[in-house]
Amino acid sequence: MSAASDVGFHAQRQARWHYGEVVFWLVVLACGFAFPSRYLIMTDILRLALFAMSLDLILGYAGIVSLGHAAFFGVGAYAAGLLALHGIVNEPVLALIVAGLAAMVLGFATSFLVIRGVDLTRLMVTLGIALLLEALAERFSNITGGTDGLQGIEMQPILGRIPFDMFGKAGFFYSLTVLFLLFLFARRVVHSPFGLSLRAIKNNPLRAAAIGIPVNRRLIAIYTLAAFYAGIAGALFTQTTAIASLDVFAFERSADLMLVLVIGGTGYLYGGLIGAVIFRMLQELFSTITPQYWQFWIGLVLVVIVLVGRQRLHRWVLYVPNLVVKQVAGRKAVVAVPESDS
Amino acid sequence: MTAILTNLFDGVAYGMLLFVLACGLAVTLGLMNFVNLAHGAFAMAGGYVCMVLVNRMGWPFFAALPLAFVSSAAIGIVLERSLYRHLYARSHLDQVLFTIGLTFMSVAAVDYIQGSSRVFINLPAALQGQFDLFGVGIGRYRLMIIVICGLLTIGLQMVLAKTRFGSRLRAAVDDPRAASGLGINVPQVFAFTFAFGCGLAGLGGALSAEILGLDPYFPLKFMIYFLIVVTVGGSSSITGPFLASLLLGIGDVAGKYYVPKMGPFVIYTMMIVILIWRPNGLFGRTAAR
């Protein structure tokens, strides 16, 4: 077997759907029917999961560390809010896409700034862009509502048929559908030759360039795509909660997002989804213990995760599932976090 | 004309303050290549120590300042030896996560102990108000800041350039392996420098309570400013960060005075433009290798 077909074989095997993934999505769907009183928090988790998946695309696959991913979330949120408020695009699905495109345009424009320089410059530039947008949103308070945020947003029925209800049932299934569709697309992207080239860039940009991968163009493309995803997440936020305020741009949002992804693990797409569930549960737990100071415990979790080491932590978490798989199916561990990120 | 000069004066004082706050970060971030987003937490610690000493225990302001330095340096060295040390070789992502975690913890802890409102330090009467010098309004407190920070800057430059410790530090930064081969205890030099930088931040925090405002969110609010100083200034000497902080201070004061509606817009735009133009900082070789 030649080297090229060997690579293709492994890539294709990676790309195939596993039973575990089907089970995962069935469980998510089942949650929607099993906990009818918890739609609001579950919708929140789905939004966060989509947002985290967006960061995973650039951090886990392309290795871009961003401290300002909330910029795109915020643009999506305000775009969706303004579209609904002024009745420009009334239909939520269409508005969602328009809002995503708005964030995408910003992502494309700023990607040229981000691909320059090393990690540290990237951190600064992404952080700077998010802060800049927050300052702008505060400045143009006649459009954005300033610190009060956009108020009085009324959402039209989805596709003109399904109205948003006060229990959030429609919102939940709407968000779930959007998340699933975008997940399918992201899954396709990361397993395509394009996705493989991104991993090559992440591992060693110099070598990737040497074998003929257009490094900058690939980075711009994935950054733009990630911005689109983040924008959709932001738009979902506005559409399901009917508010958009300045804190969509806040640094804490970007920082929390990092934590979500780190809890779940980067570079296999499910990290964001799993991380979002665990993060929200932790947050609920901490805020029931100390309503005002939950941030302390979140910080502690971050510190502990880093000190223990992310890889070691994931090995511990996956120890039991892998043991079960080994015993039941009689083969080597299939549940694994494939990528190490450095 | 006088308004311009007064603004310039305020800007210089502000910039000097930023320099003292951030020059510790210039060492950890620029020289040791460690992304320490928690630097502001040390500054806040110093500020709160000073506040408690002056307001609650009745210490004179000038006696409390050195203690702010010492306490922040002590916290710095404890954390460096126990936690930071293990992360020098890790990826930037790990360092970012770790220091964000520390920042969150410090914010919540101070909020818990001291409450979330802004605190003020009772200043001696001699430092309040302002006087006119050729028609230019000069704030006494700001003048004191310029004097203290100016002396500190000269002192730092002397230590770095003339003393044995300074040359050790420069050697350790230039090439840690060769330096340790020559018998320089590199981790010790780094630990000491880290602690000293934290101490300076603590002193800066105590001084800044009056000008920047001191509340539990201090580390998050001013994180970007410290990072700007270091990334824009570069790290080949302390002159780079010094000039960058002056630029930032004057730019920020002027921006808030002349285009108040744009708020912090001016600063962020300035930073992004400079970073695009010179990704390794305005002055000096590289901000990060």
**pLDDT 10s digits, A152-205:** 788 888 887 788 887 888 889 999 999 999 999 999 999 999 999 999 998 888
Closest Cα in chain B to A141: B261
Strand partners, B136: B133
- Determine the pLDDT at residue A338: 46
Read off φ and ψ for residue A192, nearest 5 degrees.
-80, 170
- Determine the pLDDT at residue B128: 77
- Beta strand ranges found along chain B (DSSP E): 130-133, 136-139
Strand partners, B138: B131
Binary contact (B35, A251; C-beta < 8 A):
no
Q: What is the pLDDT of residues A307-321, one digit of tens each?
A: 888 777 777 777 777
CA distance B211 to B226: 16
pLDDT greater than 70 at residue A300: yes
Contacts of A187 (CB under 8 A, 6+ apart): A269
Question: Which chain A positions have a beta carbon within 8 Å of B98's beta carbon?
Answer: 302-303, 306-307
**Helix intervals (H) in chain A:** 3-15, 19-34, 39-56, 70-85, 92-114, 119-139, 141-144, 169-190, 193-203, 205-210, 215-241, 251-264, 270-289, 294-308, 310-329
- Interface of chain A toward chain B, CB-CB under 8 angstroms: 59, 65, 67, 113, 116-121, 123-125, 127-129, 131-132, 135-136, 138-139, 251-252, 255, 258-259, 262, 292-296, 298-303, 305-307, 310, 341-342
Cβ-contact A47, A237 below 8 angstroms: yes
Q: What is the pLDDT of residues B4-34, one digit of tens each?
A: 888 888 889 999 999 989 888 887 887 777 8
Q: Which of B157, B155, B158, B185 is nearest to B171 (CA)?
A: B185
Higher pLDDT, A295 or A325: A295
| Interface ipTM above 0.85 | no
pLDDT greater than 60 at residue A333: no
Least confident among A56-70, B36-50, B205-219, B253-267:
B253-267
- The share of chain B scoring above pLDDT 90, in percent, equals 23
For A10-21, letters b (16+ CB in 10 Å) and e give eeeeeeeeeeee
**Confidence label for A2 from pLDDT (cuts 50, 70 and 90):** low
Classify residue A158 as left (phi > 0), alpha (psi -120 to 50) or beta.
Answer: beta
Instruction: Say how many Å lie between the first and final Cα of chain B, rounded.
Output: 44
pLDDT greater than 60 at residue A331: no
pLDDT greater than 70 at residue B239: yes
Binary contact (A296, B262; C-beta < 8 A):
no
Q: Which residue has the tokens 């004082």?
A: B13
Q: Which residue has the tokens 């005075």?
A: B257
Residue A120 is nearest to which of B102, B109, B288, comparing CB atoms? Answer: B288
Cβ-contact A124, A110 below 8 angstroms: no
Residue B102 is nearest to which of A121, A131, A303, comparing CB atoms? Answer: A303
**Confidence label for A340 from pLDDT (cuts 50, 70 and 90):** very low
- Determine the pLDDT at residue A45: 94
Contacts of B73 (CB under 8 A, 6+ apart): B195, B196, B198, B199, B202
- Determine the pLDDT at residue B288: 40
CA distance B3 to B6: 5
Question: Which chain B positions have a beta carbon within 8 Å of A259's beta carbon?
Answer: 97
pLDDT greater than 70 at residue A337: no
Question: Which chain B positions have a beta carbon within 8 Å of A258's beta carbon?
Answer: 96-97, 100
- Determine the pLDDT at residue A332: 53
- Determine the pLDDT at residue B287: 39
CA distance B173 to B88: 13
Contacts of B122 (CB under 8 A, 6+ apart): B54, B55, B61
CA distance B133 to A220: 55
Q: What letter does residue A17 receive in the DSSP assignment?
A: P
Q: What letter does residue B121 receive in the DSSP assignment?
A: P
Q: What is the pLDDT of residues B85-102, one digit of tens each?
A: 888 888 888 898 999 999
What three-state secondary structure class fits A267? coil
Residue A138 is nearest to which of B96, B223, B263, comparing CB atoms? Answer: B263
**Helix intervals (H) in chain B:** 2-25, 39-51, 61-82, 92-114, 140-162, 164-174, 176-181, 186-208, 218-233, 239-258, 265-277
Kindly state whether B97 is in contact with chain A, defined as any CB-CB distance less than 8 angstroms: yes
Burial group, residue A180, by CB count within 10 angstroms (0-12, 13-18, 19+): middle
**Confidence label for B285 from pLDDT (cuts 50, 70 and 90):** low
- Determine the pLDDT at residue A330: 59
Contacts of B247 (CB under 8 A, 6+ apart): B15, B232
CA distance A86 to A234: 18
Average pLDDT, chain B: 85
Q: Which of A93, A302, A48, A186 is nearest to B102 (CA)?
A: A302
Structure token pair of residue A294:
């939950």
Question: Which chain A positions have a beta carbon within 8 Å of B288's beta carbon?
Answer: 118-121
CA distance B24 to B39: 8
For chain A, state the CA radius of gyration.
20
CA distance B27 to B20: 12
**Confidence label for A245 from pLDDT (cuts 50, 70 and 90):** confident
pLDDT greater than 60 at residue A241: yes
Q: Which residue has the tokens 């494939």?
A: A338
What three-state secondary structure class fits B115? coil
Q: What is the pLDDT of residues A69-99, one digit of tens each?
A: 999 999 999 999 999 888 888 889 999 999 9
